[in-house]
């Protein structure tokens, strides 16, 4: 019996191997020996997306060159292929997956991780109802978390709909990018603009949001506003009181009108504290850092990269 653990990238595979009792690094994979896995076990990995959607020219000659009359690009079916610079690793991964009896999907614990893993499995011709599929679902690469995750694997097919959803999104992105980029680029070039203009489902609206924010910053004009606060003097001292919920007024007249509507006035005046509430609150100590949360915090504080933090640890 052979078990193959499929990681998303080399560093992830190395973390898995380091958490197990004994591992030997080979070309494109690790040989593993550990009580968790009594059978022959290997860890292999992709470089992210080993498998990607084919280019438009793969489907039809007319889509090889950009032309408005070739639009829309809309294949009847969608083919996947392996990039030339990734074929060596794909061959290694494919060979291991084909000979396996159990495949443990250990890519990132999200929809894209599912997409990457199942795309590789299908393109390898390694999908079979005779195989057992398991899922490692963890969010940290600490050794204890990895070992616990491998000891508590989940049924792999339970997450298959994540792959179907992610691949649907991937195809939609491809259609928008291929058609939109060609359409806008050719139209803008006809109006004298130079270059290639890339459009994307996420990229384009995100860039527009950045543009809008930049426009707001560049055209920002200071405007005065008014807020209400009060200094309360009581028998045993004084304290500052703020209007809650907080409210701003664009003119002093608006503020005075609001104060008057509450039966108050600007200046010193007597008042009554109608209600005093005392609450006991407890705050738990924060959880210890996981490696990923530590890397995020250190980057936020000191701009150190994830690898620098890992090396320091």
Question: What are the DSSP calls for 274-307, one per residue?
Answer: ----------PPPPPPPHHHHHHHHHHHH---HH
Cα separation, 23 vs 3, in Å, equals 14
DSSP-based three-state secondary structure for 150: helix
Residue 235 has pLDDT above 90, yes or no: no
Cα separation, 188 vs 194, in Å, equals 8
**DSSP run (H or E) holding 255:** helix 252-261
Mean per-residue pLDDT, 236-256: 90
pLDDT at 244: 84
Q: Tens of pLDDT along 191-234?
A: 999 999 999 999 999 999 999 999 999 999 998 999 999 999 98
Paired strand residues for 242? 229
Residue 63 has pLDDT above 90, yes or no: yes
Cα separation, 107 vs 97, in Å, equals 14
Q: Tens of pLDDT along 133-192?
A: 999 999 999 999 999 999 999 999 999 999 999 999 999 999 999 999 999 999 999 999
Q: Percent of the chain, pLDDT > 70?
A: 100
Mean per-residue pLDDT, 107-121: 96
> If one looks up domain 2-165 in CATH, what number appears?
3.40.50.140
pLDDT at 258: 93
Residues in the chain: 313
Give the domain ranges of the chain: 2-165
**DSSP run (H or E) holding 230:** strand 229-234
Residue 17 has pLDDT above 90, yes or no: yes
pLDDT at 275: 87
Residue 251 has pLDDT above 90, yes or no: yes
Looking up tokens 């809650």 gives: 244
């Amino acid at each position: 019996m052979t078990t193959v653990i499929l990681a998303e990238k080399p560093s992830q595979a190395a973390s898995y191997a380091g958490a197990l009792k004994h591992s030997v690094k080979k070309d494109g994979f690790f040989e593993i020996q550990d009580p968790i896995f009594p059978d022959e076990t290997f860890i292999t990995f992709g470089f992210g997306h080993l498998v990607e959607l084919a280019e438009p020219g793969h489907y039809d000659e007319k889509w090889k060159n950009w032309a408005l009359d070739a639009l829309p690009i809309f294949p009847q079916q969608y083919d996947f292929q392996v990039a030339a610079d990734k074929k060596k690793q794909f061959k290694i991964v494919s060979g291991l997956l084909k000979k396996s009896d159990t495949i443990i999907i250990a890519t990132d614990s999200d929809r894209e991780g599912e997409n990457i893993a199942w795309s590789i499995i299908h393109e390898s011709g390694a999908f079979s109802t005779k195989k057992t599929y398991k899922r490692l679902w963890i969010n940290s690469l600490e050794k204890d978390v990895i070992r616990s995750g491998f000891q508590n694997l989940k049924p792999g097919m339970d997450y298959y709909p994540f792959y179907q959803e992610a691949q649907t999104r991937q195809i939609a992105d491809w259609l928008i990018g291929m058609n939109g980029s060609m359409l806008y680029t050719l139209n803008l070039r006809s109006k004298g603009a130079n270059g290639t203009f890339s459009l994307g489902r996420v990229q384009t609206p995100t860039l527009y949001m950045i543009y809008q924010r930049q426009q707001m910053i560049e055209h920002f004009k200071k405007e005065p506003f008014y807020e209400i606060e009060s200094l309360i003097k009581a028998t045993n001292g004084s304290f500052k009181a703020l209007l809650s919920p907080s409210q701003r007024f664009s003119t002093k007249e608006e503020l005075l009108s609001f104060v008057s509507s509450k039966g108050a006035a600007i200046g010193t005046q007597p008042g009554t504290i109608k209600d005093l509430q005392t609450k006991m609150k407890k705050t738990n100590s924060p959880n210890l850092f996981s490696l990923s949360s530590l890397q995020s915090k250190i980057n936020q504080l000191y701009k150190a990269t994830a690898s620098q933090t890992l090396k320091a640890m």
